[in-house]
Structure 1
Amino acid sequence: MPPYSREAEYKYILGVVHNVLNEVKEFHKYYLQGVKIDYTACTGCLDKLLEDWERDKSYLMTWRDYMDMLKHNAVDRKLKESDEFADIRFICERTSHFEGTFDELVNGLMSCVHDHLYRYCISFQTETKGVEIATVKEYEEDITRYRTDLDTQFNEVADNLNQYGETLTPFYDLVSIGGEHASIMENICHVLIDICGTVKSWIKKDRGYSDRIWQEMQTYMSNRDHFRGEESKTTKQRDAILKKLDQLEKQKTEVIKNCEMHKKEKVKLRKRIEVVEYKLNRLGITVDRKEEAFEKTKEYRSLDNPLTPRKQITYNNTLERLLREIEELDLQVDPTQKHLDTLKKDLKATTHTAYELKVEAATLDNDQHDLRKELPDLNIQLESAREGIATNNKKIKTMEKIRNYIALAGTLRKLHRDEELEKPNSENDDLNEALQIVAQNLGRDWRKVYPKLPFTPPREQWKKHKDIQILDMVAMRCDHTHEEQALKAFEKWLTFNRRGNLRQLIRTLRKTQNVDLAGELEERYMVEERYMVENV
């Protein structure tokens, strides 16, 4: 049955822990704390009892045998009233209480840890999809440390329980080395208290997990706002530069256009100047020729002697015509010269303007170049800001998803349901096959494993030892091998424990230090747990 909520799961786990703590502390307070027993004197008392009963010390295998002997045999009154006799009874009572309580306590606590704490108090690291989130990483490391500590502590409990089991029989040894026996129980109590402390610490960590994620989320939100501000600022700077570049480009285009117009005007002016200069040159040549003709005509007239009236008129008309033509040509020279001067002045002005426009175009081009040099850095800053926004958004989204998983009760139901669906349909077949493998590998050591197997409902420890004795007697009569005995023992376990499964078997193997065999079964049969959970 999946838990109704995360708080309900905490309540259940802490309930189991508090129950274990109360039982352990009560046992420790009554049976161990401040208890002083003279085990040597107790051994002497037991020797006297055995002597009175005419029994060998090997006759008493367990404390139950001793208690049975007390019921059916008389005890000397003086001996019965002695402190040593009371201490032996106290040892039996302590052993009885320990056997009837601690196996179930350890199994219950281990089941709670594996089936609840390990199952539901998780970091959801798989949901990060590679996104680096410090809180999740830190909690996953904490979980790894918690699990390592708990596994180590449970192994220590298992070691102590094994040592404890070895000191139970024969009863004479239980009394003679009772101090060692008490020390083992003391260690088990301390380790169980440490386990409970570790579980409570883990619960406290898990309970504050959502708040820690929220605190880190606020940091990423602040970072995202900062990057958004940087993006806005950089975008404005880049847009201003692009706008300025556009304006400069338009100005440069206009300047280049004007410069080209002035260049064309220069060409036109040069051609016009060439025409006017040619015209002015032709006028000078014509004037010179007319003046030379005028002078020669005057010379011819002075040499022509006698000069007839008709010739006189002809010479006069020719001179008048030449003089008139010279005057007309002179009238053309001044305007032409002025026109030429004007054209040259215009050419100079046009040349100067074209040069200034060329310089202005070059200046505008340099300004554009300087502005363009700023763009790569701004683009890098803009890309960096956008990457920062995207990264922080991704982290925030992932953390929101994890916080939803933590907050929603449906997440626990999905975790439970997904894990149930992951169980193979052939679980019973797998369990039977696994029991065959375990029986082959354990041999005679099945006797150490069987008492540690969990039973539902709980089976008392002395009944488990009785089962072993019966199986041994049957094996002697039927000549069974150790493997066959082990299989019979496992069949009995499944008979008394209808809920027996692979997890319980593997857990018990680990408790009894059969780690390699447990690992082999896990590798072969167990499905790897995954917590790919979606919102319900």
Structure 2
Amino acid sequence: MKHPSEKNKKTATKSNGDDYSEEGTFPDGSPAHSLHPNHIQNGSDSSVNNSPRGRKNRPEHTRRAYIAAADNRRTQSERRPSDKHGRLLGRRPMNPHVRSTRETANQVGHQVKAFKREHLGARSKFDFQACVKCLEDEILPGWGMSPTDDGRSQTGTEKTTGSDVLRDYEQFLKLTLRKETDESIMGSDEYIDLVSLAKRARDFEILVPDCRRRLQSCLDQHARPHLVSLKQMLAVSFPPSSQPLLHTDNEGKDAVLRTVDEYDTVSSEKAATVDQKLEDLSNTYKSYKQTLRPFAEFVRSGDSNTAQMKSCCTGLLEVCRGLENWAEQDDEYPETLMQEMDEKKGEKENLQQELKQAKLDKLEKKEKINRLRKKEAKAAQLYVQYRTSRDRLRDRLGELREKDIMLQERLHTRREELNILKESKAENPEMTPRSQALSESMNKLEASIEKLESERKITRNHIKRVESEVKQANDRAYENKVEMVTFRHQREETEKESKRQEAEIISLRERMARLDELCEKLILVRELKISPEAYRKGLRDMRRHEASKADGTQYLNDACLQAAPALGKKWRKLYFYLPFDPPRTVDKRQRDIILLDTLASRKDLTENEVATKSLEKWRTFHRHGGVLDLTLALRAIHKNGLARKIEDCYAAQLEK
């Protein structure tokens, strides 16, 4: 049989969650000191016998045992890893508030369970009517006392003032020690039960207020202020002015820390539940307290008192269980944050794939736009060429038609002249010189008419050919115009799609930046939960942030962050117009600008970053500055729009 202390020691070691053996032993159960390099199992020690043994001179069985133990043994750094390596190995130090909450809940739970096991268990069943009868008929008459002042049962709210009245269990327990009672009565079960009932009431009246006080103190000092998501500290490390802007479509998807919000809700619900249970416990205990006097009535209503005791114990255990679950959930909260961070990283990887595909699509659309632009230019060039050719052919066709009309008129004239000559010749059929002259004229006219008809035929054929060419040129010009307009519309649609693709790429990048920021927030919350030093530093930063808001420093900081990106290269000019208290000479200001330029060249800072640092330096030297000082300096360098914007944002502070 093991000694209880050894058993408790072993149980405590196991409960700590350590898989190593007890200190001073190896995992195989052998003592650690027996495997020292200079220790020999036959009982001789080389250091005592003045015969040191090296590694090669050790006995074979000792060397084998030492090597086996060294292979199975864990180093001190592995048994107790540091915070950094412990977190990498999956181990981390427990939050002291979680530990305190668990310890308080466990201790109170053990006390309540011990009370229930001793006084409200299956072996603690009493015959209350028999106990009342024994008290009123045998014990109190022997003591010369009465159960009530008038012999009747009093309610719990009425007070008995008689000196011979048994008031409560405390007086009963005192009288059992001072008054003499018959041995036959003292040996009866009813007398023993009465003493047990009095002791139970005494222990219960000590148990409930003490446990309730400890639980309330644990709730107020550890659970409520410290077992929270620490969401309020994120505003200190991530001010709103530094957060990237997102499209409204992605705000609900990416801009929420689901674990933090859920834990805020759960913490509020748990705090409200624990408060309600403690209030119910107080009400039940008050109701129980009203039944303590007189003692006879307390014993007579033993069933209801027992039920109230059980209800109070159940309430205490529920509060303990709620606090323990809360502490356990808070202890698992960093792992939940890591899970959400892994989800965010998975979402970011998906967004990276979408971004890659969007970039490829954008590149394809850009190439398509270039092809369509070339086709459109080619079609426009052909359209201009065919339109010019068509216009030239139309002009030529007009000339030919005018020529045809002219030839037709000349033919008509020649034919009329020929008809006149024929009529004249018909009137003078004789062969006279005049008729010969008419014949010659008629021959000339006929030859001229034949020539004009031949020329007109050629002209009409030319007109037909030119009309065909005009039709072809017109058709080709129309086709090229249609192609040009089609390519233009396709190019414009593709450009619109490319712009939408560009907006999608910007949105994806912003969502990725937002996910990175959310991961940083999750890491910060996790660090605050697992590191007491980081938590204390976060509390100091939050208090400093609240103090800076109270005296207006935070408003000036936000205003400087808002003004710095809009200054650009004009921060040097602004630095000379900013007020300093105590005053700062021009030479010192020039030296400050030189130092800032040197810092910017060494660290490759942008103008916006250098402007931010210049305003930080100004706030360092000008400790009592306000937003008004900044706006006046901005107006002095003709940045009226920026000054007006800052005044609109911090109007309340400027009024103060």
> Under a length normalisation based on structure 1, what TM-score does the superposition of the two structures give?
0.61
Stretch moving more, 52-61 or 212-221: 212-221
Is 2:247 the partner of 1:120?
no
Which of 125, 139, 152 is equivalent to 1:49? 139
The CA RMSD measured in Å over matched residues stands at 4.8
Cα 1:289/1:82, change in 2 over 3 Å: closer
Deviations 1:268-309 (A, max 9, x none): 313542565477669868998999999999x9996359xxxx
Match of 2:189 in 1: 83
Aligned mates of 1:27, 1:402 — CA distance in 2 = 44
Match of 1:171 in 2: 295
Which of 382, 388, 392 is equivalent to 1:265? 392
Alignment of 1:45-444 (within 5 A): 45-47=134-136, 48-58=138-148, 59-123=165-229, 131-132=255-256, 134-206=258-330, 207-208=332-333, 209-214=336-341, 216-218=343-345, 220-221=347-348, 224-225=351-352, 227-228=354-355, 231-232=358-359, 234-236=361-363, 238-274=365-401, 277=404, 303-304=432-433, 341=461, 345-346=465-466, 348-366=468-486, 368-369=488-489, 390=510, 394=514, 397-398=517-518, 400-408=520-528, 409=531, 410-411=534-535, 414=538
Larger Rg: 1
Which of 107, 117, 127 is equivalent to 1:19? 107
SS state at 2:95 partner: helix
Confirm or deny: 8 A CA contact 1:160 1:188 kept in the other structure.
yes
Aligned mates of 1:348, 1:381 — CA distance in 2 = 49
Aligned mates of 1:194, 1:420 — CA distance in 2 = 39
Stretch moving more, 364-373 or 99-108: 364-373
Shift of 1:94: 2.0
Q: Which has the higher contact order (CA 8 A, sep 6+)?
A: 1
Shift of 1:105: 1.0
* Structure 2, unpaired ranges of 5+: 1-91, 149-164, 236-250, 548-656
Confirm or deny: 8 A CA contact 1:217 1:399 kept in the other structure.
yes
SS state at 1:201 partner: helix
Shift of 1:369: 3.9
Cα 1:187/1:60, change in 2 over 3 Å: same
Confirm or deny: 8 A CA contact 2:400 2:462 kept in the other structure.
no
Confirm or deny: 8 A CA contact 1:405 1:411 kept in the other structure.
no
Percent identity for Structure 1 against Structure 2: 15
* Structure 1, unpaired ranges of 5+: 306-311, 424-536
> Under a length normalisation based on structure 2, what TM-score does the superposition of the two structures give?
0.51
SS state at 1:57 partner: coil
Match of 2:119 in 1: 31
Shift of 1:120: 2.7
Aligned mates of 2:480, 2:412 — CA distance in 1 = 45
Aligned residues: 411
Confirm or deny: 8 A CA contact 2:112 2:313 kept in the other structure.
yes
AA of the residue aligned to 1:49 = I
Shift of 1:28: 1.1
AA of the residue aligned to 1:356 = R
Aligned mates of 2:443, 2:495 — CA distance in 1 = 78
Cα 1:226/1:392, change in 2 over 3 Å: same
Match of 2:239 in 1: none
Confirm or deny: 8 A CA contact 1:276 1:340 kept in the other structure.
no
Cα 1:377/1:281, change in 2 over 3 Å: same
Cα 1:265/1:304, change in 2 over 3 Å: closer
AA of the residue aligned to 1:12 = S
Aligned mates of 1:225, 1:293 — CA distance in 2 = 99
Shift of 1:331: 9.2
Cα 1:420/1:391, change in 2 over 3 Å: closer
Confirm or deny: 8 A CA contact 1:9 1:116 kept in the other structure.
yes
Confirm or deny: 8 A CA contact 1:272 1:343 kept in the other structure.
no
Shift of 1:405: 1.6
